[in-house]
């Protein structure tokens, strides 16, 4: 893999990841872009103890442009985009409309009531373009292309984890208009948060309680091994990875992909796991597109890498894993987060996890 860094016209960084060592990426961005202006702030909810980002500047971000005006395609035929090169393998650049941006944040500011702490939404947000082909999806990539994306995720996780003030790095993909995607080009994002996310904090606390309760056992290891031993919810497996529908799945079709050897984050994966990942992951994505039959449009999904925080207590107990789920519950119908889910965070799943796993096994490649 060859990595090349450059700058866009407004000063944002762009990185190219190429399979060929002789690739040259030196095209200049000649667009007359103004400097980016952001107003990100994070506020702490005094009831839940969770940070919420307030980002008014994102209201003006690009929204469903026609294909011939896509900002994530290469710059060709006189049309300049976010990516100055006429072609690319994988491109990563700073988001023009970031939820988090800037250097380390100061301590949370107080208020006369002592209930409304806030501070700048420091951190970094990046866009990851998987391919120059506008009409493709991640599932259309070859295994070498998918491996290059994995290498890009790994590189960015390692670098962003070293940024002052960053506490957690999150690589993810939103796919489909039903999810809320505003750009159709195959891409994902990376958020470098200035705090540990609520979901991760809860997993860390559960792991600590399990260790205490069991005399030192690891929750993630025990859970993975129990799913493998039970077998009913296992969807796919290899020598170094196993994918299963979790016992208490929240979403109609939800799969967790774990390396068989526990590691805290992407940089800690060994070469054997890296080499096998593309085959397993591409297989899962292609199964998702076959769940509801050939007449249905591509399945909307969220794919999310859960990684250990950069330096939180209990980091050694955390297990890297990928969560893949869809909000489509059956043909032509979506799973909405209504009163119970949105109001009380109590999920109600109409598809038994065992039935979801069986369906995902049925739609494996012939």
* pLDDT at residue 152 tops 90: yes
**pLDDT averaged over every residue in the chain:** 94
pLDDT band at 61 (very low <50, low <70, confident <90, very high): low
Structural domain count, the chain: 2
| Cβ–Cβ < 8 Å for 146, 138 | yes
Distances (CA, A) of 269 to 149, 153, 266, 309: 14, 12, 6, 16
Say whether pLDDT at 104 is over 90: no
Whether residue 108 has pLDDT greater than 90: no
pLDDT tens, position by position, 234-259:
999 999 999 999 999 999 999 999 99
- Distance (Å, rounded) from C-alpha 280 to C-alpha 326? 18
- Whether 203 and 182 map to the same domain: the answer is no
pLDDT band at residue 114, thresholds of 50, 70 and 90? confident
* Of residues 49, 40, 43, 54, the one with CA closest to residue 111: 43
Note the pLDDT of residue 68: 87
Q: Domain check: are 18 and 152 in the same one?
A: yes
Global pTM reads: 0.95
**Do 100 and 248 fall into the same domain?**
no
| Domain end marker among 138, 165, 195 | 195
Contact partners, residue 72, CB within 8 Å, separation at least 6? 81, 82, 83, 127, 129, 134, 183, 185, 187
How does pLDDT run across 302-319, given as a tens digit for each residue?
999 999 999 988 899 999
Q: Kindly state whether residues 212 and 178 are assigned to the same domain.
A: no
**Is it the case that residue 110 has pLDDT exceeding 70?**
no
Say if residue 172 is in the same domain as residue 305.
no
**How much is the pLDDT for 198?**
97
Calculate mean pLDDT across residues 286-305. 95
**What per-residue confidence (pLDDT) applies to 109?**
67
Task: Evaluate whether 98 touches 120 at the Cβ level (below 8 Å).
Answer: no
**CA separation for the pair 238, 47 (Å, rounded):** 44
Q: Which domain holds residue 150?
A: 2-195
Q: What are 315-352's pLDDT values in tens digits?
A: 999 999 999 999 999 999 999 999 999 999 999 999 99
Residue 269 has pLDDT above 90, yes or no: yes
Give residue 307's pLDDT: 98
Question: Are 57 and 179 part of one and the same domain?
Answer: yes
Give the confidence band of 65 by pLDDT, cuts at 50, 70, 90: confident
Higher pLDDT, 207 or 114: 207
Query: Annotated catalytic sites, by residue?
Result: 187
Cβ atoms of residues 312 and 341 within 8 Å: no
238 and 354 part of one domain: yes
Dist CA 255 CA 234 (whole Å): 9
Q: What is the pLDDT of residue 96?
A: 92
For 340: left if phi > 0, alpha if psi spans -120 to 50, otherwise beta; the answer is: alpha
Question: Where residue 365 falls among pLDDT bands split at 50, 70, 90?
Answer: confident
CATH of the domain at 72: 3.30.428.10
Average pLDDT (103-111) is 71
Query: Which of 147 and 313 is assigned the larger pLDDT?
Result: 147
CA distance 222 to 24: 47
Q: Is 235 exposed, middle or buried (0-12, 13-18, 19+ CB in 10 A)?
A: buried
Q: Which helix (H) or strand (E) holds 45?
A: strand 41-45
Instruction: Name the band, by pLDDT with cuts 50, 70 and 90, for residue 207.
Output: very high
Same domain assignment for residues 20 and 148: yes
Residue 314: per-residue pLDDT: 86
Same-domain check for residues 165 and 45: yes
Q: How are the residues of the chain apportioned to helix, strand and coil, as percentages rounded to the nearest 5?
A: 30, 25, 50
Round to whole Å and give the CA distance between 127 and 182: 13
**Does 279 lie in the same domain as 136?**
no
Same domain for 205 and 255? yes
34 pLDDT band, cuts 50/70/90, is confident
Q: Are residues 182 and 217 in the same domain?
A: no
Last residue of a domain, one of 137, 170, 195: 195
* pLDDT value for 62: 67
Write down which residue in 145, 167, 195 finishes a domain.
195
* pLDDT for residue 193 is more than 90: yes
Percent of the chain having pLDDT more than 70?
A: 96
Tally Cβ neighbours within 10 Å of residue 348.
Answer: 10
The whole-number pLDDT of residue 67 equals 79
């Amino acid at each position: 893999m060859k990595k090349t860094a450059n700058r866009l016209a407004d000063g944002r960084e762009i990185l190219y990841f190429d399979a060929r060592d002789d690739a040259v990426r030196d095209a200049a961005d000649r667009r007359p872009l103004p400097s980016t202006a952001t107003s990100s702030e994070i506020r702490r909810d005094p009831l839940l103890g969770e940070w919420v980002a307030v980002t008014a500047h994102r209201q003006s971000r690009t929204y469903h442009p026609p294909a011939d005006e896509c900002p994530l395609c290469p710059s060709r035929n006189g049309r300049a985009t976010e990516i100055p090169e006429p072609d690319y393998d994988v491109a990563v650049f700073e988001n023009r409309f970031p939820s988090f941006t800037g250097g380390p944040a100061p301590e949370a500011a107080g208020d006369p009531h002592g209930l409304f702490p806030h501070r700048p939404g420091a951190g970094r947000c990046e866009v990851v373009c998987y391919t120059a082909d506008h009409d493709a999806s991640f599932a259309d990539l070859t295994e070498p292309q998918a491996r290059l994306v994995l290498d890009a995720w790994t590189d960015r996780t390692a670098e962003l984890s070293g940024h002052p003030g960053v506490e957690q790095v999150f690589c993810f993909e939103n796919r489909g208009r039903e999810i809320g995607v505003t750009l159709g080009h195959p891409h994902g994002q990376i958020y470098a948060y200035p705090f540990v996310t609520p979901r991760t904090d809860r997993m860390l606390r559960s792991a600590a309680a399990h260790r205490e309760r069991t005399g030192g056992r690891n929750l993630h290891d025990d859970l993975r091994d129990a799913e493998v031993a039970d077998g009913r919810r296992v969807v796919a497996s290899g020598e170094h990875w196993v994918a299963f529908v979790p016992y208490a799945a929240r979403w109609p079709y939800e799969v967790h992909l774990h390396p068989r050897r526990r590691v805290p984050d992407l940089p800690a994966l060994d070469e054997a796991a890296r080499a096998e990942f593309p085959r397993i992951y591409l297989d899962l994505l292609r199964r998702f597109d076959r769940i509801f039959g050939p007449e249905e449009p591509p399945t909307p999904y969220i794919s999310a890498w859960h990684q250990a925080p950069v330096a939180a207590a209990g980091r050694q107990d955390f297990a890297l894993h990928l969560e893949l789920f869809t909000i489509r519950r059956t043909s032509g119908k979506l799973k909405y987060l209504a009163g119970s889910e949105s109001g009380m965070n109590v999920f109600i799943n109409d598809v038994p996890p065992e039935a979801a796993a069986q369906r995902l096994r049925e739609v494996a490649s012939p």
